[in-house]
Structure 1
Amino acid sequence: MVTTNVVAETTVSAASAANPAQTAQPVWSDWSEPVAVEAGLLEPTDWTAAFISPANGPNAAIGAFGEPAPIVFTDFALPAEPVSARLHVTAHGLFAAEINGTSVGESVLDPGWTSYRHRLRYRTFDVTPLLHAGAGNRVAALLGDGWWRGNLKWDNKPNRYGSRLALLAQLEVMCADGSRVTVATDPSWRACESAVMANSLYDGSTIDLRRPVGIDAATRSMPSFPVEVVGAPTHAPANASTDAAHTRDAATQPVQLVAPDGPAIQRIATRPAVKVWSSPAGKTLVDFGQNAVGWVRLRVRGGNATAGKTVTVRHAEVLEYGELGTRPLRGAKATDRYVLAGDGGRTLEPVFTLHGFRYAEVTGVSDLRAEDVEQVVVGTGMERRGWFSCSDDRLNRLFENVVWGARSNFVDIPTDCPQRDERLGWTGDIQVFSPTALYLFDASGLLVSWLKDLRAEQFPDGNVPHVVPEPDAERVDPPACAWGDAATIVPWNVYLATGDEDVLRRQIGSMTAWVDCMDALAGPSHLWRGGFQYGDWLDPSAPPEDPFRAKADPDVVATGCFARCAAVAAEAARVIGDEDAAERYGRLATEVRRAFRDAYVTADGRIASDAQTVYALAIEWRLLGDARLEALAGDRLAELVAEADCRIATGFVGTPIVCDALAKTGHADVAWRLLTQTACPSWLYQVTMGATTIWERWDSMLPDGSINPGSMTSFNHYALGTVADWMVRAIAGLRPTSPGWRTVDVQPICFDGLDHAEARHLTPYGMVEVAWRREGSGIALEAALPPNVRANVMLPDGRTATVTGQGTYRWHAAAGDRPQPQSAGA
């Protein structure tokens, strides 16, 4: 363990040319309290524990899918009072650990989901207060199916990674007498059954309260039986390859035990029920007011807790015809059950499961009251980093819907939806959403971990799986633009948000391998044509049964993605000092752009398929190479938006960039009308329909209140919420202009109909804040900066200013003509 102290200097620059009023003065902070830094288990030889699994018992196949969740445990003695104790633990499956009857840590669903065939995460807990000198210490862990052997896809197939649950635990204790004690999983441990009769991330859990409830109670009263070692962990050597050419064969790619890169999954909050009522069919329904991810905590009172009675809780995101709208769940049962013991009131809460829901249906409890139920919100414990608000409450609700969508779908990996039988790490979704996610939350740790999995599962030819982690070891996906682009774009966006060059150094092999894959597919023409493509996925004009059928030509989209990824790979190589690679991929990007123009762009600026998305990507990804062509493309894009009555006409590829492309080419007013449209399809249509998260489809719910008939309909899906990023950059006017927010632009567009707007973001340097407000016929603008950040300011009347360093700066300007902000780069 190493301790150190920190002191910070605050500086303020001279006033700018625009002569803003300025507050705050430079100061030195006091020395911080000592900060302790402690290393984990760094080498394979640091581990003495072995994976253990129940060997037999009342159910001979205790290690097989579908049996009661087992508990493994051991007792031990300490020669003196503990002064330091750390529990290092992981599992094949999920674990919930206790020491002497007290839960270890506050995380849930440990150890989370990584590419188990390559990387298995372990957690470390400080358990010093839970131990005592002498005999009678007990460490125990409940094991659950989780991602290891639970259902992960729509085919209802278990045991994707294995059929045996197992625990690996190593408790290291330093005692007051100087002695050290290590308690590690080995054949001397014992196992027993628990009260958890079934557990599934998708289907829910069943708990029989007539059995001993709780881990400690079960170990002290249930019959025990032996455990057995099921295989020692293997480790990649310290100099393991970091390029993209990893095999996905677990036999040749050793599994690494790895420490976490980001925070654990946690109970984030609890929300009370806002309404309890009886449905038309006589069902007891509960509304929590917010679509979220987690589970229901239910209290049964002594008078309604009859022995043997089953309490059932079903979950859904929406109502349809007054009842739970469960069709979007597809195969996921999303149902928790409790068999009551009749021993008085209890608080019921499931284990090893997760539901996406706003509404619940409760049966088996008479006289249910709102105070009896609450929604436990669960997600990765990411720190909130970005905020936005304005005078239009509809836009505020839209922004909060994006926040809730991100919170709901960042459960250890970036998933596509949290409610149905498909909660997977779709690469295309996070590729488009990563800038927004990194503005809203400190998602860098989660994404760094996920990128390591992507690199591990990337195919030798550079192709990228459509989902990461990919549960099916033998599956080979065809290359798909926008989805495979995650290998190149996501690490670049993490770098832009954090300024961390190491993420590029770690991922550069993966980034360039994907570009090389596209290059091989395109061939000498530099045009990626044919093959499988998702294209502009979920274009609103596509029929419910055929989401591939977008207006944008998939070949145009694929070639545009190729050019963009090549350009980003060149920039990443330049950042880390690989000038040869930077020159190579920069030249390739130029050649692909030229091929794009020659094949798909006419002299008058028309682009093949004449869809909003192709113009947006050509403008934003700098494919046209000519100011005249860019202006023509912008004019045509604005025409297409107007012809659609400012209703959205883009899918996954076009939606994140359409407003930027309009604003960049002088059509910010059209982007504003697109944003504030309320007719279907539009962002605010969802808000008018009562949405509290972003939908998967523009019309996931139809105007008559019925659910879209497509088989793929989610009401909590962040991809179409990328507009939140544009709202911050355009409406509030806050945009980073260098990696890690070292420099920013402050250039708000004070749209007609808005009285004020503000945004703030906790950057690596500290909080940056921007706010503007109408005052009489003018605009009052304010910017607050932390130390060492420079802001380039454009006032609404066209004046400019540059300010640097800690302080709050204020300007007043005539409303004037609205300046046009630049686009957001990659």
Structure 2
Amino acid sequence: MTDWSAALIVPDQDFAGAPLLRREFALEAGHGDVASATLHASAHGVFEAFLNGQPVADEVLSPGWSAYEWRLRYRSYDVTALLRPTSVLGFALGNGWWGGRLGWNGGRGYYGSDLGVVAQLEITFADGHVQRVLSDGSWTAGPSAVLANDLYDGQTIDGRRVSDAWLAPGFTGEGWTGVHAGELDLGTLTPYIGPPVRRQAELAPVSTWTAPSGRTLVDFGQNLVGWVRVRVSGPAGTEVTLRHAEVLEHDELGVRPLRSAQATDRFVLSGGDDVFEPTFTFHGFRYAEVDGWPGEPAEGDLTAVVVSSDLERIGQFACSDDLLNQLHSNAVWGTVGNFLDVPTDCPQRDERLGWTGDIAAFTPSAAFLFDVEPFLRDWLRDLAAEQQAADGMVAFVIPDVLKYVTKDDAQATSFPAPDSTAVWSDAAVWVPWALWQAYGDRQVLVDQFDSMAAHVRRVETLTSPTGLWDTGFQFGDWLDPTAPPENPILAKADHGVVATACLFRSATIVAETAALLGRAEDQAHFTEVAARTRAAFAEHYVGADGHITSDAVTVYALAIVFGLVEGEQRRLAGERLVELVDEGGYRILTGFAGTPFVTDALTTTGHLDDAYRLLLQQECPSWLYPVTMGATTIWERWDSMLPDGSINPGQMTSFNHYALGAVVDWMHRTLGGLAPLEPGYAKVLVAPQPGGGITWARTALQTRHGRVAVSWSTEGPDGFSLDVELPEGVSGLVRLPDGTEREIGAGEHHLAGEPATA
């Protein structure tokens, strides 16, 4: 932790929401060579820091978005190599999440109206002397080449104003002013836990053509998140415009799903050779519409830059079915696009919020695909801070900007006054538990236990006298495909059944967490809550014939996977689940609540063939329908695009929304055959269950203990063959499709069994 002496400084003028700030200084003499130099920096807004004309790091959009009221993160940089006898420290600021638009009602600046920077450069000399260069009243501020910037609407850059002169000693720029102290509680400054946002990849266009409107359209071949870097030459003052969207409709850019987000970048040419990169915004897009270009773009003039939190890819999967491989790729790209500092719902429209329900559903999948532990532990700190300020309530979104949106405009959301909500608020419990299972570090449980317990304790106060959680607003099985497009909350699954099942699961997890942490009193309490909830569920929702109230696929899936039914009731629930899936033609009948669990419910009740039929369905609604329609990310709706190529008429339609891709977790464990038998894969379960005509699969994971890999095939002379690789110190239990089991140790193993019959 840094001992802060600096102050937040704010330019005396706004400078179009994109000011530059600078401080020139000389190294103090008489102390020998510089031994080290570290810059600590944060901002209200987003910043790019420079020392002597060089960026101090390759990151963008720092310090990101946190619960600013309680946590303003700062970054620390080793800048020793950049120092000179006379140096210039500079910052370029943009609106970011602090000063830009947030939410769908057009509001902005919910956290504050002024942009500012807090910076502390600590220079240590050979004799131990420390020179500090602090953000204070001696700095100056001036205009940049950025004329407008907003995360939703895009960025405007005037090439005629681009200059690095402000980063050189002796600069005295026209229009530069002073700075003044801004409001900042230095106690809220906290170092990052998660990674910064960085450029991840670059994609060239796969095609460029002229649309019926006469505009130039560019296809980058992949729905991605970031921006387009532009290289262009033309007459000074020429304005080139790029508008971004995820899909085409009627051979033109499909912009309706953006709602009010403009997603448009504008570049004013200098008259020379310009390179523009709009780093104070981001877009969710595959296509760009180009207007005003002098002539036609040439090869290399347009490059899509993929931007994301800097996550390490650790999990791999492939199988003999190309459509499933594309589905898996879509989940990967959906994670990359939406794990941009906070786990957002979507990256393109006027929303991009940290919806808790999405990440509650998807964490097990994300934790296999990438090392998301630091990223989500950072976000969980925000969740706990917001929760503590809201008397234990976990909000719909974290950071909870909706508390300001609805305060300013009661009509800004159609939701009633918020309170704890099943699945969404359960993220307080489900996310840290999934991280514990994936990585085996109980510190996340230590850090989050009070938050986990507070969620369940609040929900206890919301249950009715029957013991059911059947009160208040619920999203329920959000986006059940049988619900009308204009009202996705009208799922078939009863809201009380879903919420009560979720309460049981959360109480059970908190009880198990208390046991792990040696908190006997808490363990006893939450064990009793779980037992009481289970009894209420059985009494009020489960009939003698095993049918569960509302008789929907989701209610059976939750009851089976969460352990609310056992023995004969579980068998009956499994049979009824299969009947409903069959009656639905093996098309999806679940939304956010049921989708992560339906294939597991089928598999564990002995209906593996039915799970595969559901997974491999290509007709809408299904996981593979979007793949057949050319999707390269997971869609928000099962039918975000209709079979005729038109966009779903619903007001809420995203083409990059990872939640419904949670089935990849089942693919890793059941099709791939790789699951943790102990948290963090200290012991591994290798239990592939082939089916659906799939003839081979390969799954690998870089665990905290080393690389684990599983591959199987039904194509060899032995029928079913299996290869397993375990690192030192890790053992495994192999369960072959014929039911035989065997313990294995570290090393490489080849096994064979009876041919799969599924």
TM normalised by structure 1 equals 0.88
Candidates 556, 572, 575, aligned match of 1:632 = 572
CA shift for structure 1 position 555: 0.9
Alignment partner of 1:297 is 2:254: no
Q: What is residue 700 of structure 2 aligned with on the other side?
A: 760
CA displacement 1:281-314 (0-9 Å, x = unmatched): 111011000001000011113xxx1111101011
Instruction: Please state how far the C-alpha of 1:215 moved relative to its aligned partner.
Output: 7.3
Contact 1:272 1:375 in 2 (8 A): yes
SS across alignment from 1:547: coil
> How far apart, CA to CA, are the structure 1 residues paired with 2:162 and 2:33?
31
Q: For residues 262 and 107 of structure 1, what CA distance do their matches in structure 2 show?
A: 13
2:562 equivalent among 614, 621, 626:
621
Tell me the distance in 1 between the aligned counterparts of 2:503 and 2:165: 53
Q: Secondary structure at the match of 1:729?
A: helix
Checking the alignment, whether the CA contact within 8 Å between 2:154 and 2:281 is kept in structure 1 is yes
Shift in alpha-carbon separation, 1:752–1:506, aligned structure 2, 3 A: closer
Structure-1 separation of matches of 2:435 and 2:342: 15
Q: What does residue 468 of structure 1 align with? A: 398
Q: Which amino acid aligns with 1:364?
A: G
Correspondent of 1:189 among 139, 146, 149? 139
Q: Which amino acid aligns with 1:465?
A: A
Per mean C-alpha deviation after superposition, the further-off stretch among 667-676 and 221-230 is 221-230
Is 1:749 matched up with 2:689?
A: yes
Write the letter of the residue equivalent to 1:590: A
Q: Quote the offset at 1:217 in angstroms.
A: 5.9
Shift of 1:817: 4.7
AA matched with 1:620: V
Q: CA deviation at 1:176?
A: 4.2
Q: Percent identity?
A: 50
Aligned residue for 2:489? 548
Contact 2:103–2:402, Cα closer than 8 Å, also in 1: no
Are residues 1:799 and 2:748 paired? Answer: no
Q: Which residue does the alignment assign to 1:270? A: 202
Q: Which residue of 112, 118, 138 maps to 2:64?
A: 112
Moved more, 487-496 or 467-476: 467-476
Q: 2:518 aligns with which of 559, 577, 580?
A: 577
Q: Distance in 2 between matches of 1:215 and 1:778?
A: 70
1:314 maps to which residue? 243
1:809-820 alignment runs, 5 A limit: 809-817=749-757
Q: Which residue of 2 aligns with 1:172?
A: 122
Aligned counterpart, 1:148: 98
Aligned residue for 1:416? Answer: 345
8 Å Cα contact 1:276/1:370 also seen in 2: no
Amino acid at match of 1:213: S
CA distance in 2, matches of 1:776, 1:663: 28
Match of 1:536 in 2: 477
Pair 1:286 & 2:218 matched: yes
Query: Of 702, 712, 715, which aligns to 2:655?
Result: 715
In structure 2, relative to structure 1, the CA distance for the partners of 1:359 and 1:588 (3 Å cut) is same
Residue equivalent to 1:19:
none
Matched residue, 1:102: 54
Map 1:400-415; keep pairs closer than 5 Å.
400-415=329-344
Partner letter of residue 198 of structure 2?
Q
Distance 2:261 2:383 in 1: 26
Contact 2:464/2:470, CA 8 A, preserved across alignment: no
Residues 620-639 of structure 1 show CA distances to partners (whole Å, capped at 9, x for unaligned) of 00001x31110110111011
Aligned positions of 1:461-540 closer than 5 A: 461-473=391-403, 477-540=418-481
CA distance in 2, matches of 1:706, 1:223: 50
Cα pair 1:212 1:222 within 8 Å, conserved: no
SS of 1:361's equivalent in the other structure is strand
CA distance in 2, matches of 1:755, 1:761: 21
Q: Determine the C-alpha separation between the residues in 2 that align with 1:145 and 1:540.
A: 38
Partner of 2:600: 660
Q: What residue identity is the alignment partner of 1:171? A: L
Residue of structure 2 equivalent to 1:609: 550
Deviation at 1:81, TM superposition (A): 4.1
C-alpha distance 618-175 of structure 1, shift in aligned 2 (>3 A): same
Kept in 2, the 8 Å contact 1:93–1:148? The answer is: yes
Q: Structure 1 residues 189-198 or 466-475, which shifts more?
A: 466-475
The amino acid across from 1:515 in the alignment is V
* 1:457 corresponding residue in structure 2: 386
Tell me, in whole angstroms, the C-alpha distance in 1 between the residues paired with 2:439 and 2:335.
18
Match of 1:731 among 648, 671, 683: 671
The match for 1:83 is 35
What amino acid maps onto 1:616 in structure 2? A
Q: 1:378 aligns with which of 299, 304, 307?
A: 307
**For residue 453 of structure 2, what is the amino acid of its counterpart?**
T
Q: Distance in 2 between matches of 1:257 and 1:68?
A: 23
Q: CA offsets, 1:528-587, max 9 Å, x none?
A: 113211000000011110000101011111111111111011011111110111111112
What is the 5 A alignment of 1:679-694? 679-694=619-634
Alignment gaps of 5+ in structure 1: 1-39, 57-61, 236-255, 819-826
1:566 aligned partner, one-letter code: A
Query: Match for residue 337 of structure 1?
Result: 266
Instruction: Determine the structure 2 residue equivalent to 1:126.
Output: 78
Q: 2:50 touches 2:167 (CA, 8 Å); kept in 1?
A: no
Corresponding letter in the other structure for 2:252: E
Q: Distance in 2 between matches of 1:723 and 1:295?
A: 29
Summarize deviations over 1:601-654 as a string: whole Å, max 9, x none.
111111111100000000000001x31110110111011111111000000000
Using the TM superposition, give the Cα deviation of residue 180 of structure 1 relative to its aligned residue in structure 2, in angstroms.
Answer: 2.4
**Preserved CA contact (<8 Å) 2:52 2:167:** no
Give CA deviations for 1:198-231 in whole Å, capped at 9, x if unaligned.
1101101101111133474696544321111113
Q: Which amino acid aligns with 1:279?
A: A
Structure 1 range deviating more: 717-726 or 484-493: 484-493
Counterpart contact for 1:784–1:809, Cα < 8 Å: yes
- Which 5+ residue runs of structure 2 have no aligned equivalent? 407-416
The one-letter amino acid paired with 1:382 is L
Deviations 1:70-98 (A, max 9, x none): 11111001135433111000001111110
Q: Choose which of 557, 582, 588 in structure 1 pairs with 2:529.
A: 588
In structure 1, distance between residues paired with 2:298 and 2:496: 57
One-letter amino acid of the counterpart of residue 55, structure 1 = D
Q: Which residue of 1 aligns with 2:185?
A: 233
Q: Which residue in 2 is equivalent to 1:642?
A: 582
Alignment partner of 2:112 out of 155, 159, 162: 162
**Residues matched between the structures, number:** 739
> Counterpart of 2:543 in 1: which secondary structure?
coil
The secondary structure found in structure 1 opposite 2:219 is: strand
Shift of 1:455: 0.7
Q: Secondary structure in 1 aligned to 2:620? A: coil
- Which deviations, in whole Å up to 9, do the C-alpha atoms of 1:40-93 show, x marking residues without a partner? 41xxxx21111001124xxxxx27xxx251111110011354331110000011
Greater mean alpha carbon deviation, residues 775-784 or residues 470-479: 470-479
The amino acid of 1:76's aligned partner reads F
Whole-Å Cα distance in 2 between the matches of residues 589 and 156 of structure 1? 43
- CA-to-aligned-CA distance 1:660-688 (integer Å, 9 cap, x gap): 00000000100000000000000110000
Decide which of 271, 290, 300 is 1:362's aligned counterpart.
Answer: 290
* Equivalent residues of 2:89, 2:167 under 8 A apart: no
Q: CA RMSD in A?
A: 1.4
Q: 1:457 to 1:635 in 2, by over 3 A?
A: same
SS at match of 1:525: coil
- Paired with 1:290 and 1:272, the residues of 2 have a C-alpha distance of 10
- Partners in 1 of 2:536 and 2:184 — Cα distance? 53
**Contact 1:199–1:351 (Cα < 8 Å) also in 2:** no
Looking at structure 2, the residues matched to 370 and 483 of structure 1 have their Cα atoms a distance apart, in angstroms, of 45
Are the aligned partners of 2:718 and 2:753 in contact in 1 as well (CA < 8 Å)?
no
Counterparts of 2:165 and 2:343, CA distance in 1: 31
Give the equivalent residue in structure 1 for 2:148. 198
- Taking the aligned partners of 2:347 and 2:79, their CA distance within structure 1 comes to 32
Does the Cα contact within 8 Å between 1:462 and 1:517 map onto a contact in 2? yes
Tell me the CA shift for residue 175 of structure 1. 2.9
Query: What's the secondary structure of 2:266's corresponding residue?
Result: strand
